[in-house]
Amino acid sequence: MRVAELTSAIKKLLESEVPLLWVRGEISNLVKAASGHWYFALKDDQAQVRCVMFRHKNQFLSAPVANGSQVEVLAVATLYEQRGDFQLTVEQMRPAGLGVLYERFAQLKLKLEAEGLFDPARKRPLPQYPKRIGIVTSPQAAALRDVLTTLRSRLPGVPVVLYPTAVQGTGSAEQIAAAVRTANQRAECDVLIVCRGGGSIEDLWAFNEEVVARAIAASDIPVVSGVGHETDFTIADFVADERAPTPTAAAQRVVPDRHALMRGLRDIAQHLRRAQRNRLQNAMQTADYLQRRLVHPAQQLQRQTQQLDQLHQRLQRAYAYRRQHQHWQWQSLAQRLQAASGDFVRLQDRQANLAQRLTRAMHNTQQRHASRLENIAQHLVYLDPKQVFARGYSMVQDANGRVVSDAATLAAGDELRVTFAKGWAKAEVKETGGK
């Protein structure tokens, strides 16, 4: 068997029998070739193995890699046939310990989710117009400047209370939880922002601690979590009442945009002006209609007099027509009487009787109509304002000609016009009283 055949067989055996696996160790003898490929050794205190990571794999790494870095690599065990060297072909690389952190993250997430801390039903709505906003973060954090700048630009004048705390490092989780509890004890804010800027999973780990999650869940104040960048998710995001992708976005969630509010107010004001204008126009039209219907007593009396004259003329015409009609009937009867020569006397007596009845009926009808006409005329006399004035009454009008019927509408110094049965006079109000 040739050497090439041996190394090829060993390579196939390694790649088929040893699965893709994570290996942890320290980087040494790192060489970054001009081609972009990396060559290094991965070692611990007892052994080492050669490794290669090609350019199309290492170009996606975000964390810096150098000699002495503790890393975990996902690699394929293989054999470099030209030299017969055993090596690992690296597919992925991450700082050592991330696997443990991811496992802790997943376990805590499952635990809290089972307890119902992520349940949307327990999430509370944020106040639409908060009176005071609390911020839990580091005073030196860039996230604080971003939040304050956003709050000032969207709704300036809203008071802000800072609950300072470390957001990274040993003991930071306990400090964050304590700051959330302090904000609830003081109860001076309507909404609470828990935030910090982006970073690695280790930098953000304080927001994955159980003590922080439970403090947020127990908060009586609605909490908005704005930790890291859009792609970063922490346990605090799941527990908070609302998750914002960045600190700036968290500030945008808790306060409305003043420009949008101003536009809304302008629209409402325009609507109110339009409604007020329409209501005023309707009232003016109603007043004009009522004014047209309002008739002066003199005009009403004149119209009723005209109606009475018309009725009198119709009565006279009806009386003349009836008299003429009865005359025609009398002539017809006379002709019929004359034609009935055989019983002339009887017919003559009947004619006389009918004539008397006709005369009485005409007289009674005339008297009845005359009496009705006299009653109507007497009624009109009673309605005549001049008759009322003749009994000592008068009509009082203000400077605009409106009739005054209530002393409460007058004030001292108002000029009045008083109309009597004969003539009129101007007067000035000295004092008013009575109800």
Q: How far apart are CA 393 and CA 301, in angstroms?
A: 18
Please give the pLDDT value at position 16: 78
Please give the pLDDT value at position 342: 58
Contacts of 155 (CB under 8 A, 6+ apart): 255, 256, 257, 258
Confidence band of 340 (pLDDT split at 50, 70, 90): low
Rounded average pLDDT over 181-195: 94
Which two tokens mark 296? 């002066």
Angle at 294 between CA 293 and CA 300, to 5 degrees: 100
Please give the pLDDT value at position 99: 61
Please give the pLDDT value at position 434: 65
Please give the pLDDT value at position 391: 73
Please give the pLDDT value at position 174: 94
- Secondary structure (DSSP) of 345-356: HHHHHHHHHHHH
pLDDT of residue 228 exceeding 90, the answer is no
Which one of 3.40.50.2300, 3.40.50.300, 3.20.20.80, 2.40.40.20 gives the CATH number of domain 118-256? 3.40.50.2300
Grouping H, G, I as helix, E, B as strand and the rest as coil, residue 151 is helix
Angle at 103 between CA 176 and CA 177, to 5 degrees: 10
Task: Encode pLDDT of 191-227 as tens digits.
Answer: 999 999 887 777 888 999 999 999 999 999 999 999 9
Please give the pLDDT value at position 400: 86
Provide the mean pLDDT of the chain.
86
The set of long-range contacts for 121-128, using a CB threshold of 8 Å and a minimum separation of 24, is 123/241, 123/242, 124/222, 124/241, 125/222, 125/241, 126/191, 126/222, 126/224, 126/241, 126/242, 126/253, 126/254, 127/190, 127/191, 127/222, 128/256
Task: Encode pLDDT of 19-54 as tens digits.
Answer: 888 898 888 899 999 999 999 999 988 889 999 999
Please give the pLDDT value at position 9: 82
Please give the pLDDT value at position 52: 94
Residue scoring higher pLDDT (340 or 69): 69
Confidence band of 286 (pLDDT split at 50, 70, 90): confident
pLDDT of residue 341 exceeding 70, the answer is no
pLDDT of residue 151 exceeding 70, the answer is yes
Please give the pLDDT value at position 181: 95
Task: Encode pLDDT of 65-110 as tens digits.
Answer: 888 888 889 999 998 888 888 999 999 988 876 666 777 888 888 9
Rounded average pLDDT over 370-385: 80
Rounded average pLDDT over 174-203: 90
Rounded average pLDDT over 342-351: 72
Rounded average pLDDT over 376-399: 76
Note the helical H segments in 187-230. Answer: 210-217
Please give the pLDDT value at position 53: 94
Please give the pLDDT value at position 145: 92
pLDDT of residue 242 exceeding 90, the answer is yes
Q: Give the percent of the chain with pLDDT over 70.
A: 95
- The CATH code that applies to domain 3-96 is 2.40.50.140
CA dihedral 231, 236, 238, 242 (to 10 degrees): -90
Please give the pLDDT value at position 336: 77
Q: How far apart are CA 393 and CA 385, in angstroms?
A: 9
Please give the pLDDT value at position 291: 76
The structure's pTM equals 0.47
Task: Encode pLDDT of 265-279 as tens digits.
Answer: 888 988 998 888 888
Confidence band of 343 (pLDDT split at 50, 70, 90): low
